[in-house]
């Protein structure tokens, strides 16, 4: 095989979707290249080379796990996406985003953005068509058994409910396994609002420029992150998406830099239902994976629970201090790292939930995390995220940070900010000295404010008590 043909095949993932003739030609080259590098993949690769987008996607995921075959994996993603795989198109867009430097890809930034936009638009168009097909009901079918939700037998099949036609969305769990068992019946009842039903999208896409400007007003020490998110929102906006869905994002920086607060702000600004899961100190999967049937405490995986609670298919999951929960990767109860690797890049059929005994669609969930260091994370794990370094804020940021610290404490106490005790003379200066003395740690400032707020509340209570005694 000529060098020019090999070079063209290996660079296909940096090009626009291909027509069938071109895809077939690239497949021939990729089959030979892949078998030479990974002989044990022969059977799967030959199947992928025959035009199966599912086989091509499975091959891509396996090849992306090995640093020596990452480019081959991306090429098989291109093949699968060109053949009609929604998951592959989105995965390819994420790969382009993660490796999106002009120097690495030898493409201009505008070319890279254009490619990402094209693949996202393609994925969205295919998904819309799929939703329309899945929710279309022919006139002669509306009276068929189980087709009509008012039919007396419509709810008699465990693990199955009639999909809603009222609101576009995604059916994340088609049906559950072993539905007639005692546990299956209980699970079917508990999650009847989820199983077989279309969960809607939630949230809004904010104006990218306004989003970045507001972010820099609130968090002025993260200009690089604000610029990155402005770009991601611009891509989603130009792809005609109506709802937010961000690539996996990992913020890395010193303790007290505001990483978790930043991620929660992002989710809330996009109005995405979200949940923060503290990972530090856990020796298992921190509730991410399901508890299998057979146990009294059996329950679905964390993402399924969040989608069920929020009744939407695109919530945000924020994993706090993920680097502190990955040391026990071989533990009997699993690990955060192992759980996330499977969830961020599940098999073509979806993520397998051990409680539901069914595949679940997690592709619309936004996964975000924080870490103080990358040293405990494997290369494979890091490559699943876009890593953003977050510096500690400086002394000059105190005035912007203090109001948010006060608002956070008021929220914790369940009261509006104006109900907090007033800061006394010298209180603000003391808080600033604590903040600067702790190398500008927001966490230390929060703790210091909690102390001074308690003291001021006690002083006010004492004054009220004295005033009451004087009146009597």
Q: Which long-range CB contacts under 8 A does 371-374 form with residues at least 24 apart?
A: 371/250, 371/251, 371/252, 371/321, 371/322, 371/323, 372/252, 372/253, 372/254, 372/255, 372/321, 372/323, 372/324, 373/252, 373/323, 374/252, 374/323
What pLDDT is stored for residue 100 in this prediction? Answer: 61
Q: Where are the domains of the chain?
A: 3-132, 208-389, 395-471
Give CA torsion, residues 459, 465, 466, 471, to 10 deg: 150
Q: What residues pair up with 388 in beta bridges, in sequence order?
A: 251
Would you say domain 208-389 falls under CATH 3.40.50.300? yes
- With the C-alpha atoms ordered 36, 40, 42, 47, is the resulting torsion angle positive or negative? negative
Per-residue pLDDT, 328: 46
DSSP per position, 55-68: HHHHHHHHHHTSGG
Residue-level pLDDT at 281? 61
What is the reported pLDDT for 224? 93
Position 156 scores a pLDDT of 43
Considering the entire predicted model, what is its pTM?
A: 0.71
Per-residue confidence (pLDDT) for residue 24, from 0 to 100: 87
Write the CB contacts of 389 (distance below 8 Å, at least 6 apart in sequence): 224, 252, 253
Query: CA–CA separation, 350 vs 336, rounded Å?
Result: 19
Q: Would you state the pLDDT for residue 201?
A: 92
Residue keyed to tokens 């298919």:
313
Long-range contacts of range 378-381, CB-CB < 8 Å, 24 or more positions apart? 378/337, 379/67, 380/65, 380/341, 381/326, 381/337, 381/340, 381/341
d(CA 355, CA 365) in angstroms, rounded, equals 19
Locate 237 and state its tokens: 């906006």
* Angle in degrees, 0-180, between the axes of helices 398-413 and 427-437, rounded to the nearest 10: 110
State how far the Cα of 411 lies from the Cα of 404, in Å rounded to an integer.
10
* Inter-residue contact 239 to 125 (CB < 8 Å): no
CA atoms within 13 A on the CB side of 369: 28
**The pLDDT of residue 144:** 34
User: Of 267, 385, 401, 366, whose CA–CA distance to 323 is shortest?
Assistant: 385
Instruction: Measure the CA angle with vertex 221, ends 434 and 426; round to 5°.
Output: 25
d(CA 85, CA 95) in angstroms, rounded, equals 15
pLDDT at 162: 45
* Joined tokens for residue 467: 């005033």
Q: Where would I find the H helices in 136-205?
A: 182-190
Q: What gap in Å lies between CA 458 and CA 454, rounded to an integer?
A: 6
Q: What pLDDT shows up at residue 94?
A: 82
Could you give the CA distance from residue 278 to residue 31 in angstroms, rounded to a whole number? 43
Q: Please give the pLDDT value at position 64.
A: 84
CA–CA dist 471, 451 (Å, integer): 31
Q: What is the pLDDT of residue 215?
A: 95
pLDDT digit string (tens) for the chain, length 472 residues: 455 666 777 788 888 888 888 888 888 888 888 888 887 766 767 776 677 888 888 888 888 888 888 888 899 899 999 998 888 888 888 888 777 655 667 777 778 888 888 888 888 788 777 766 655 444 343 333 333 344 333 444 444 444 444 556 899 999 999 888 989 999 999 999 999 999 999 999 999 999 999 999 999 999 999 999 999 999 888 877 788 889 999 999 999 999 999 999 999 999 999 999 888 766 667 678 888 888 888 899 999 999 999 999 999 999 999 888 754 444 444 577 888 888 988 777 789 999 999 999 999 999 999 999 998 888 888 888 999 999 999 999 999 999 989 998 998 888 888 889 988 879 999 999 999 999 999 999 999 999 999 999 998 888 888 777 666 5
Q: What is the CB neighbour count within 10 angstroms for residue 419? A: 9
């Amino acid at each position: 095989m000529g060098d020019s043909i090999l070079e063209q095949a290996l660079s296909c993932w940096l090009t626009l979707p291909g027509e069938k003739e071109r895809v077939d030609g690239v497949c021939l080259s990729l089959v030979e290249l892949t078998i030479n590098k990974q002989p044990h993949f022969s059977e799967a690769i030959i199947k992928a080379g025959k035009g199966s987008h599912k086989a091509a996607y499975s091959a891509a995921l396996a090849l992306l796990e090995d640093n020596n075959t990452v480019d081959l994996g991306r090429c098989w993603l291109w093949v699968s996406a060109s053949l009609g795989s929604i998951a592959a198109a989105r995965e390819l867009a994420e790969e382009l985003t993660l490796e999106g430097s002009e120097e690495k890809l030898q493409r201009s930034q505008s070319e890279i953005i254009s490619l990402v936009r094209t693949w996202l638009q393609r994925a969205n168009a295919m998904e819309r068509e799929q939703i329309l097909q899945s929710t279309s009901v022919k006139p002669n079918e509306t009276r068929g058994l189980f087709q009509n939700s008012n039919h007396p037998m419509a709810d008699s099949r465990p693990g199955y409910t009639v999909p809603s036609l009222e609101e576009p969305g995604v059916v994340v769990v088609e049906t559950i396994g072993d539905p007639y068992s005692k546990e299956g019946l209980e699970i079917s009842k508990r999650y009847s609002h989820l199983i077989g039903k279309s969960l809607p999208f939630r949230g809004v896409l904010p104006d990218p420029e306004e989003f970045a400007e507001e972010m820099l007003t609130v968090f002025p020490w993260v200009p690089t992150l604000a610029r990155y998110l402005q770009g991601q929102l611009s891509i989603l906006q130009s792809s005609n998406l109506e709802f937010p869905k961000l690539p996996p994002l990992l913020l890395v920086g010193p303790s007290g830099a505001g990483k978790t607060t930043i991620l929660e702000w992002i989710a809330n600004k996009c109005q995405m239902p979200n949940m923060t899961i503290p990972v530090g100190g856990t020796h298992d999967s921190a509730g991410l994976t399901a508890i299998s049937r057979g146990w009294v405490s059996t329950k679905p995986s964390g993402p399924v629970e969040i989608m069920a609670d929020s009744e939407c298919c695109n919530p945000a999951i924020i994993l706090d201090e993920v680097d502190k929960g990955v040391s026990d990767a071989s533990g009997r109860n699993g690990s955060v790292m192992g759980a996330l690797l499977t969830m961020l890049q599940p098999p073509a059929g979806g993520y397998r939930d051990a409680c539901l005994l069914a595949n679940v669609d997690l592709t619309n969930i936004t996964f975000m995390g924080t870490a103080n260091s990358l040293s405990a994370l494997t290369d494979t794990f890091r490559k699943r995220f876009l890593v953003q370094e977050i510096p500690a804020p400086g002394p000059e940021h105190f005035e912007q940070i203090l109001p948010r610290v006060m608002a956070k404490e008021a929220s914790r106490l369940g009261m509006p900010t104006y109900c907090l005790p007033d800061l006394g003379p010298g209180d603000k200066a003391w808080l600033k000295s604590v903040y600067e003395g702790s190398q500008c740690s927001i966490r230390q400032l929060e703790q210091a404010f909690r102390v001074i707020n308690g003291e001021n509340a006690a002083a006010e209570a004492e004054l009220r008590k004295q005033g009451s005694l004087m009146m009597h």
